[in-house]
Structure 1
Amino acid sequence: MPAVTSGPIMADGGALVLFSGGQDSATCLAWALDRFERVETVGFDYGQRHRVELACRATLRAGLGRMRPDWAAKLGDDHTIGLSALGEVSNTALTRDVAIEMTQGGLPNTFVPGRNIVFLTFAAALAYRRGLRHIVGGMCETDFSGYPDCRDDTIKALQVALNLGMDSRFVLHTPLMWIDKAQTWALARSLGGDALVDLIVEDSHTCYLGTREMRHPWGYGCGTCPACLLRAEGFRRFKSA
């Protein structure tokens, strides 16, 4: 597993982190706080079944601030954007009470078409208004369900389109793109030690079904949905490394 070190502090415009309240986005927020002088967060309410993730965001932000005074000083405003129209046009297992299964097209029915494209477009519009140049997201092409809008090529193409369309110089950062879930846990520990790992276990939410009744070694969730299984296996490998 490659070693992870802190990066240089970047002062050119600050950063906006796509912050859902899940394991990946919490790790990305810590990553951004370690690198940028000013960090704001944005979450999206699109009618997701696991909407409980949005309620985790304030607790995670507060926990990160208590963990390191320098992070608390950098952590700026939080924003929530309502995108109910995305949920209305998405007949998926993340926006409807249906069983999670594979579709004929080879993608799981948890895929919300255009979700990351919409998220990053709205994030860029917000970053434009807030004077933030860097946009950080938890997209990953290593441990993922085949979602095409999580691929590196998609993110690079979108960066070009956003910069052309807004006449700006946004930089889209995806620190998890080429690491798996075990390495994501390791990244969290390298940034904030066991305290950050414990915070993510206790207060983040990644389960697709929104279940927080069952506590597992890796956190809360149903334990059987694809998100829970991926997180559990990653945590097991992280602990055994």
Structure 2
Amino acid sequence: MSVILEKTSPTAIKTALVLFSGGQDSATCLAWALERFERVETVGFDYGQRHLVEMEARQAVRAGMKTALPQWADRLGDDHVVDLTGYGRIAESALTADRKIEMDARGLPTTFVPGRNLIFLVAAAALADRRGLEVLVGGMCETDFSGYPDCRHETMEAMARALSLGLDKAVVIDTPLMWLTKGQTWELAETLGGAKLVELIVEDSHTCYRGDRTHRHAWGYGCGECPACELRAAGYEDWVASR
């Protein structure tokens, strides 16, 4: 789904910048964008996350995407990495510091990095402006998620409005997973790229909050116990059961 401001026709959009972490959701979004846009670039963020495996997964998934989706391989353009390590130290969380994963006083998980998606979108919008890329694509979702307020549709609407005002042009934020369950996200991946894309996501994408790449499950690598692993595993089981 898109948050489109001003009088921008989505059918006229030919280029996209995918916010790409190397996880299941962003990998699915990258495939989704490659199917739709003539030129697609990716951007990742080094925000001081504890586990470098996430940054390594980005490159593995990008490389594998050309094999999994050869019909769209020539659409995949440059990759960019934005250094936000200073921000990670300010917005300390269980993803950037040695803290227990639990619920805090506000009822939010300690894996919540305050304002992370907001910072990402500002940086991505600036990059897209200079690269001539017309739409931002992100894997934000409020159907199956960890309770992060910066994943909500309402937040995306507000960000699109703020970015449009700040850049003095219409900004499009496309969030194709916003109303999908994790099971439906697996289904979407299969629809987009069949077994090859599903295999790429299982083998090379990374979701686990603990950075575990030693334990291999049917749904991929991870500790199997953190909230991200539990959500991914449950979605996979739902998808398999529905087939």
Q: TM-score range by the shorter chain?
A: over 0.9
Contact 1:10 1:37 (8 Å CA) reproduced: no
What residue is the counterpart of 2:118 in the other structure?
117
Letter in 1 for 2:53: V
Equivalence for 1:98: 99
CA positional deviation for 1:58: 1.6
Shift of residue 145, structure 1, vs aligned partner = 1.4
Once the two structures are superposed, residues 115-166 of structure 1 have per-residue CA deviations (whole angstroms, 9 ceiling, x without a partner) of 0000000000000000001000000000111111000000011001001100
On the 8 A contact 1:53/1:210 being kept in 2, the answer is: yes
Q: Which residue of 2 aligns with 1:67?
A: 68
Q: Which residue of 2 aligns with 1:52?
A: 53
Paired residue for 2:4?
none
* Structure-to-structure mapping, 1:20-169, within 5 angstroms: 20-169=21-170
One-letter amino acid of the structure 2 residue matched with residue 226 of structure 1: P
Instruction: Tell me by how many angstroms 1:171 deviates.
Output: 0.6
- 1:32 is aligned with what amino acid? A
1:214 equivalenced with 2:192 (yes/no): no
Q: CA deviation at 1:173?
A: 0.3
| Deviation, structure 1 residue 43 | 0.3
Which residue of structure 2 aligns with residue 200 of structure 1?
201
What CA distance in whole angstroms lies between the structure 1 residues aligned with 2:220 and 2:53? 14
Runs of 4+ in 1 over 2 A off after TM superposition: 9-13, 67-70
Which amino acid counterpart does residue 52 of structure 2 have in structure 1? R
The aligned amino acid for 2:92 is N
Give the Cα–Cα distance (whole angstroms) in 1 for the partners of residues 70 and 189 of structure 2: 17
TM-superposed deviation, 1:85:
1.5
User: Percent identity of the aligned residues?
Assistant: 64
Which moved further from structure 2: 213-222 or 63-72?
A: 63-72
User: Which residue number in structure 2 is paired with residue 177 of structure 1?
Assistant: 178
Corresponding position of 1:238: 239
Give 1:226 deviation, angstroms: 0.3
SS at match of 1:34: helix
8 Å contact kept, 2:69–2:197: no
Partners of 1:28 and 1:189 in 2: CA distance: 12
- Tell me the amino acid that sits aligned with residue 152 of structure 1: H
CA-based RMSD: 1.2
- Residue 67 of structure 1: CA displacement? 2.3
Q: Say if 1:117 and 1:158, in contact at 8 Å, map to a contact too.
A: yes
Q: Distance in 1 between matches of 2:52 and 2:91?
A: 15
Q: Displacement of 1:68 after TM fit?
A: 2.8
Unaligned 5+ runs, structure 1: 1-8
Q: How far, CA to CA, are the matches of 1:51 and 1:156 in structure 2?
A: 31
Unaligned runs of 5+ in 2: 1-9
